[in-house]
């Protein structure tokens, strides 16, 4: 029977991973377009498992329209999420569970490597790494592993990183057992290509790790065996590189990588910062490698092979980052690809600081009992480290991310699937959309539109993301929205209202109502809570509605509408406005020029004594069916540039409402 020590080696960390998933599964961090695209792929796999065959051109076209580049994305991580989603009854929940599991696996793996050293060195390394992670995330607000799905949604990269670290642990285990050829050789040959089915970046890091390991192993070999060791390990690594290059997923990822993206970071712009971070990592790696070599000459080197693996894995990330920066300087790739190394670089700095502390302690103590047999990571120690690192790596999940809970999103997902399958009528040549879901960001509506309803990405997508009118209503079959969600829930167009607060709006009726709302008649209330969300498509140059109205953002803003058919009399147009003024830091005067269909019809200078103005404009049949009212604000100013907060908009005039009314008789 195994000793209790052996039993806690595996089951306790696994139990902790399950506990961590249960703890965090209801807190969703990043909500955005990238997450929606990954969800669409997972949902398609849940429903079909494979994409349409090439001879089914109709189905294939639908897949391409709603999935875009995701249809050629390496999908192994998404297939894992689809399997979990099938079991749990939710593709979104499957993604959430797999992402949390990957985060826990990464830090369990790093913890196992750190804590595989002799006890004192292991604990010192772990206790130094944890506060370094805390400083990185809480003080400098920079992400480490686990942050891949917090400020962005690098789902596949996160899962691939977890499996890359699992391969490193397998290499550590083989080294500790004294296996220098069989398992390490198999890993060098096959592991990078296998990880590439998740994501290319961790596959490249794993390949670079094996390359660094081959160099170090060859360098440390005795003179008589050095050439043979270089030849074997170098040959296996080269063969692994060839297998990686011929992997079909690599070509797909290289095609996708041409798309530049955005990864907001609390760092200055430019790749110089990333080069500096990579150099810092390499500096720590060089120091640690020298100390490890000195330690291995005096003690059993296999006892500290976990440290060696973490050193080389960090070196691999730093070297790849510098190589990527060099490629960008030569016009190959983009800055986005460089920024995606931030997770490995910042994790590497924290872990290397811990390794450095552990090596210094080991050299000072010179423990003669520091052998491979006497140094094994205890399950409790690994679990404690994993929990601490897990909590520190995703602080938005822990303290800020509870506003958008998984339960609410999954609830919408299940309700929409039921409505789609039972209540939404088939509409030939039209697409159904989800828009205006209450209590969640608009990106969730977009996610369900492309994922559950199969709506093309470029059809009404921007409007759904901004919560605005659908610009292509004639292509809409039905709209699933929350009851009362403007501008999508049109009471006269409802075909069904569920007990849970969702409604189905007929797309044809919605299109007719939208056309009616374009008419130059009645009141257009620009204030938040008024009719502001119902006529976004008529505006240009205005910011989002606020309680007092909408600000012009820039030097000009416009409102467009159509005169009702059969109009025979003149119409009076009333504009209620106020200006952006400030007695000390802001503009003290604000000039507004109002144009009607290109001709100036009014001008006013706002001052502190006259900060509001009601414009009365005559509108006649002769002005034509298309009416455009333009407000030019040449004195518009940016509050942030005047020391008035952080508002980056260029504010001129705020419009409360525009009213169209018949001209009284005799005028």
> Per-residue pLDDT tens for 471-495?
888 889 999 999 988 788 888 899 9
Predicted confidence at residue 621, as pLDDT, reads: 67
Give the rounded percent of residues in the chain with a pLDDT score beyond 90. Answer: 46
Whether 140 and 288 share a structural domain: yes
Whether 617 and 657 share a structural domain: yes
Least confident of 397-411, 554-568, 603-617: 397-411
Residue 246 in any domain: the answer is no
Q: The CATH number of the domain where 596 resides is what?
A: 2.60.120.260
Whether 444 and 379 share a structural domain: no
pLDDT at 393 over 80: no
Contact (CB, 8 A) for 543 and 627: no
- What is the rounded CA–CA span in Å between residue 188 and residue 207? 7
User: What integer best gives the mean pLDDT of the chain?
Assistant: 85
Least confident of 6-10, 309-313, 556-560, 612-616: 6-10
Least confident of 25-39, 100-114, 316-330: 25-39
Residue 503 in any domain: the answer is yes
Angle between helices 155-177 and 33-48 (to 10 degrees): 80
In this structure, what token pair is assigned to residue 481? 């929205």
Q: pLDDT-derived band of residue 403, with 50, 70 and 90 as boundaries?
A: very low
Q: How confident is the model over 388-409, as a mean pLDDT? A: 64
Q: Are strands 502-506 and 494-497 parallel, antiparallel or unpaired?
A: antiparallel
Residue 194 in any domain: the answer is no
- At residue 479, φ and ψ (nearest 5 deg) are -120, 125
Whether 341 and 319 share a structural domain: yes
Residue 631, SS3 per DSSP: strand
pLDDT in tens, 492-508: 899 999 999 999 999 99
Whether 373 and 427 share a structural domain: no
pLDDT in tens, 570-595: 788 899 999 998 888 878 899 999 99
pLDDT at 50 over 80: no
Whether 389 and 413 share a structural domain: no
Give the rounded percent of residues in the chain with a pLDDT score beyond 70. Answer: 89
Q: Which domain holds residue 577?
A: 522-662
Helices (H), 246-271: 248-256
Q: pLDDT-derived band of residue 402, with 50, 70 and 90 as boundaries?
A: very low
> Which of 383, 402, 421 corresponds to the end of one domain?
402
pLDDT at 228 over 90: no
Q: How confident is the model over 331-359, as a mean pLDDT? A: 94
Q: Is 264 exposed, middle or buried (0-12, 13-18, 19+ CB in 10 A)?
A: exposed
pLDDT at 153 over 80: yes
Q: How confident is the model over 314-330, as a mean pLDDT? A: 95
Q: Which residues pair with 546 in a beta bridge?
A: 549
Whether 341 and 458 share a structural domain: no
Contact (CB, 8 A) for 362 and 299: yes
Whether 410 and 398 share a structural domain: no
Q: How confident is the model over 231-259, as a mean pLDDT? A: 84
CA angle at 514 for the pair 510 and 515, rounded to the nearest 5°: 120
Residue 602 in any domain: the answer is yes
Whether 507 and 370 share a structural domain: no
Q: Is 330 exposed, middle or buried (0-12, 13-18, 19+ CB in 10 A)?
A: exposed
Residue 9, SS3 per DSSP: coil
Whether 13 and 142 share a structural domain: yes
Q: What is the number of domains present in the chain?
A: 3
In this structure, what token pair is assigned to residue 1? 């029977």
Residue 20 in any domain: the answer is yes
If one compares 161 and 644, the residue with the highest pLDDT of the two is: 161
Q: pLDDT-derived band of residue 2, with 50, 70 and 90 as boundaries?
A: very low
pLDDT at 624 over 60: yes
pLDDT at 53 over 60: no
Predicted confidence at residue 619, as pLDDT, reads: 80
> Which of 515, 538, 554 corresponds to the end of one domain?
515
pLDDT at 146 over 80: yes
Predicted confidence at residue 531, as pLDDT, reads: 67
> Which of 515, 535, 559 corresponds to the end of one domain?
515
Residue 328 in any domain: the answer is yes
In this structure, what is the dihedral angle of CA atoms 67, 73, 77, 83, given to the nearest 10 degrees?
40
- What is the rounded CA–CA span in Å between residue 343 and residue 340? 7
Least confident of 163-167, 357-361, 385-389: 385-389
Kindly report the length of the chain: 667
Q: How confident is the model over 226-246, as a mean pLDDT? A: 84
């Amino acid at each position: 029977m195994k000793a209790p020590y052996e039993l806690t080696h595996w089951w306790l960390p696994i139990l902790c991973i399950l506990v961590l998933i249960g703890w965090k599964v209801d807190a969703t961090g990043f909500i955005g377009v990238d997450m929606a695209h990954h969800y669409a792929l997972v949902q398609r796999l849940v429903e079909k498992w494979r994409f349409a065959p090439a001879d089914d051109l109709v189905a294939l076209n639908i897949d391409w329209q709603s999935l875009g580049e995701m249809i050629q994305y390496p999908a192994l991580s998404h297939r894992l999420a689809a399997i979990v989603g099938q079991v749990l009854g939710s593709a979104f929940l499957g993604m959430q569970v797999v992402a949390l599991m990957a985060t826990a696996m990464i830090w369990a793996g790093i913890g196992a490597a750190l804590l595989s050293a002799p006890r004192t060195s292991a604990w010192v390394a772990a206790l130094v790494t944890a506060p370094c992670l805390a400083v990185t995330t809480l003080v400098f607000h920079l992400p480490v592993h686990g942050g891949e799905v917090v400020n962005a949604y690098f789902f596949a990269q996160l899962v691939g990183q977890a499996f890359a670290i699992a391969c490193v642990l397998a290499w550590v285990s083989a080294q500790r057992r004294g296996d220098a050829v069989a398992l390490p050789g198999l890993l060098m040959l096959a592991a990078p290509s296998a990880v590439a089915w998740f994501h290319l970046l961790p596959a490249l890091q794993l390949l670079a790790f094996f390359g660094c390991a081959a160099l170090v192993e060859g360098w440390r070999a005795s003179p008589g065996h050095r050439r043979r060791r270089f030849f074997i390990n170098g040959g296996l690594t080269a063969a692994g590189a060839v297998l990686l290059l011929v992997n079909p997923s690599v070509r797909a990822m290289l095609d996708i990588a041409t798309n530049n993206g955005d990864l907001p970071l609390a760092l200055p712009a430019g790749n110089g910062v990333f080069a500096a971070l990579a150099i810092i990592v390499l500096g720590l790696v060089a120091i640690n490698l020298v100390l490890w070599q000195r330690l291995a000459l005096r003690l059993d080197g296999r006892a500290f092979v976990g440290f060696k693996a973490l050193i080389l894995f960090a070196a691999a990330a730093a070297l790849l980052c510098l190589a990527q920066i060099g490629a960008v300087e030569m016009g190959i790739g983009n800055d986005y690809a460089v920024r995606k190394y931030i997770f490995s670089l910042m994790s590497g700095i924290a872990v290397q600081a811990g390794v450095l502390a552990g090596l210094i302690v080991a050299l000072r103590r010179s423990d003669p009992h520091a052998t491979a047999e006497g140094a094994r990571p205890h399950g409790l120690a690994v679990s404690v480290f994993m929990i601490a690192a897990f909590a520190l790596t995703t602080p938005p999940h822990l303290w800020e991310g509870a506003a958008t809970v998984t339960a609410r999103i999954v609830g919408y997902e299940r309700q929409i699937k039921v409505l789609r399958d039972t209540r939404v009528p088939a509409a030939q040549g039209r697409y159904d959309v989800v828009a205006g879901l209450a209590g969640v960001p608009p990106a969730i509506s977009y996610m369900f539109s492309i994922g559950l309803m199969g709506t093309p990405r470029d059809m009404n997508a921007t409007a759904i993301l901004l919560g605005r009118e659908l610009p292509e209503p004639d292509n809409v079959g039905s709209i699933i929205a929350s009851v009362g969600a403007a501008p999508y829930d049109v009471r006269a167009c409802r075909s069904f209202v569920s007990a849970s607060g969702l409604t189905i709006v007929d797309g044809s009726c919605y299109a007719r109502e939208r056309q009616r709302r374009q008419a130059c008649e009645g009141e257009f209330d620009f204030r938040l809570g008024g009719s502001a969300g119902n006529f976004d498509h008529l505006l240009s140059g205005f910011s989002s509605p606020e309680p007092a109205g909408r600000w012009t953002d820039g030097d000009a803003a416009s409102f467009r509408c159509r005169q009702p058919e059969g109009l025979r009399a003149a119409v009076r147009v009333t504009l209620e406005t106020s200006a952006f003024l400030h007695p000390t830091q802001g503009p003290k005067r604000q000039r507004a020029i109002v144009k009607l269909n290109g001709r100036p019809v009014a001008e006013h200078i706002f001052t502190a004594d006259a900060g509001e103005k009601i414009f009365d404009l005559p509108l006649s049949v002769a002005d034509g069916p298309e009416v455009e009212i333009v407000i030019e604000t040449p004195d518009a100013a940016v509050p942030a540039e005047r020391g008035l907060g952080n508002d980056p908009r260029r504010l001129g005039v705020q419009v409360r409402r525009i009213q169209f009314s018949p001209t009284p008789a005799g005028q």
